[in-house]
Amino acid sequence: MAIIAPVYDKDSFNSIGPLHLTVVDWDNEHHRRSVAASLVAGVYNLERDRQENRDGNRALAPPFWEFFNFRLLRQLVDDVDQSTFGAIYEYELKTSPSDQSKKVIPHYVIALRGTLTNRDSVTRDIELDLHILQQGLHKTTRSRIAIQTVRAVVASSQNRNVWLAGHSLGAAMAILAGKEMAVAGTLLETFLFNPPFVSAPIEQIKNEGVKHGIRVAGSVITAGLAFAMAIKQPQQKNRSVETFSSLATWIPNLYVHPGDHLCSEYIGYFQHREKMENLGVGQIEKLATQHSLGGLLMTAFGKEAEATHLLPSACLTINLAAAPDLKKAHALQQWWQPESQVNFKTRAYLYS
């Protein structure tokens, strides 16, 4: 499963960027999301600039952050193929914000890109995509670099606001970093664009009855297997439950499109949990939500697995606009369109 890169007509900010945001209202969720997406797009273009030898005035990446008064502090470089996969940005205040805005304006943003199909990065990126499928992304060196970077930025931030943002593969790594910080007691404002959900694409089934039946069966099987394994390994079960529960107060912003089968299962993941609670069988779903069937089977055979996609809570935004194909549905660009051109539905799902 290759996590598809966002679709661009061109790499130029003037062609595709959120030019309409000439003034950013940091209290406006649409504006914050658009800025975060643009900063992630800047990382994609940093790597494209590197591969195409575009530097100086020829570089196309800088407008994606300079337009919003950020400066590039450091690039995150993969230790295997030397590709740029992330960036640390610092916000440069041009005017004195209100006290309320100071609470939401990020001082630092760590942004992480997804898979690029360009020749110098595609092999390593697809290798990492496969690690997501195998629930082993947390063991890769790129993820370790990302997590260590987030930890270091937060430690040096002196309690100033830090954002975390990622798209696709980058969103999966952002989840890992966000979870680690949440367990340690630091809740980061996080923007997850089209994060991969490792599961059969049940959300693509049109018949609601069939879809619900499959989800119920899956929950019962997953919860049953988790319960059986907990009896054999009670200490491991307690650690798993405590870790999942400790993440409940971290509420990342999650952005998905129903036509993107790589991430659309998040829609069913949260909605089904709510349905099961309404049916009075929430305890089964609560146990199932903490585990993936694949991860349980791998653990049963003695293999270490961490299902990146499992989240206790989230603010889920669904783009209801039509998308002609998977590339459009997975594109990063959709998340910064003018408000008059979008059709979003947002719902907060809180774990209790």
Range of the domain at 131: 13-205+250-285+308-349
> Does a structural domain hold residue 62?
yes
> Does a structural domain hold residue 229?
no
Q: What is the pLDDT of residues 132-188, one digit of tens each?
A: 988 889 999 999 999 999 999 999 998 889 999 999 999 999 999 999 999 999 999
What CATH number should be reported for the domain holding residue 89? 3.40.50
> Does a structural domain hold residue 221?
no
- Kindly state the DSSP code that residue 262 receives in the 8-state scheme: T
pLDDT the model gives residue 1: 47
Q: Give the β-pairing of 344-349 and 314-319.
A: antiparallel
pTM: 0.85
Q: Would you give the distance in Å from CA 99 to the centre of its chain?
A: 29
State the CB neighbour count (10 A cutoff) for residue 275.
16
Q: What is the pLDDT of residues 216-229, one digit of tens each?
A: 555 556 555 555 55
> Does a structural domain hold residue 215?
no
Confidence of residue 308 (pLDDT cuts 50, 70, 90): confident
> Does a structural domain hold residue 94?
yes
> Does a structural domain hold residue 232?
no
> Does a structural domain hold residue 44?
yes
Number of domains, the chain = 1
Q: Do 179 and 308 contact (CB within 8 A), yes or no?
A: no
Given a cut of 70, is residue 29 above it in pLDDT? yes
> Does a structural domain hold residue 17?
yes
Mean pLDDT of the chain: 84
Could you tell me where the DSSP H helices lie in the chain?
13-16, 29-51, 63-66, 99-102, 122-133, 141-156, 169-183, 208-232, 234-246, 265-278, 282-289, 293-300, 326-330
